[in-house]
Structure 1
Amino acid sequence: MSTDGKDIMMCLWRENRSMTVEEITKATRKRHYCVVTATDNLFGMGWAERSFEGGRARYAAAVTSEEYTATLMHEELTRAMAPQAQVLVALMASFTPTQRQMVSAALSAIA
Structure 2
Amino acid sequence: MAREGAVRGFGELESSVMDWLWEHGEPATVREVHTDLAKQRQLAYTTVLTVTDNLFKKGWLRREPAGRAHRYEPVASREQYGAMLMREALDVSGDRQQALLAFVGKMSLEEAVALRAALSEFERRISGR
Q: TM-score range with shorter-chain normalisation? A: 0.5 to 0.7
Match of 1:18 among 15, 20, 27: 27
Alignment size in residue pairs: 83
Give the greater-gyration-radius structure (CA): 1
Q: How does 1:84-95 map to 2 (within 5 A)?
A: 84=95
Alignment partner for residue 54 of structure 2, among 11, 33, 41? 41
Q: Which residue in the other structure is 2:78 paired with? A: 65
Unaligned 5+ runs, structure 2 = 1-9, 97-129
Q: Which amino acid aligns with 1:79?
A: V
Structure 1 runs (4+) greater than 4 angstroms displaced: none
TM-score between the two structures when normalised by the length of structure 1? 0.67
Aligned to 1:5: 14
Identity of aligned residues (%): 31
Q: Which deviations, in whole Å up to 9, do the C-alpha atoms of 1:50-96 show, x marking residues without a partner? A: 11111211111111000011111111222222xx58xxxxxxxxxxx
Equivalent of 1:76, from 79, 89, 107? Answer: 89
> TM-score by structure 2 length?
0.59
Aligned-partner Cα distance in 2 for 1:32–1:54: 18
Q: How far is 1:28 from its partner?
A: 1.5
Counterpart AA for 1:61? P
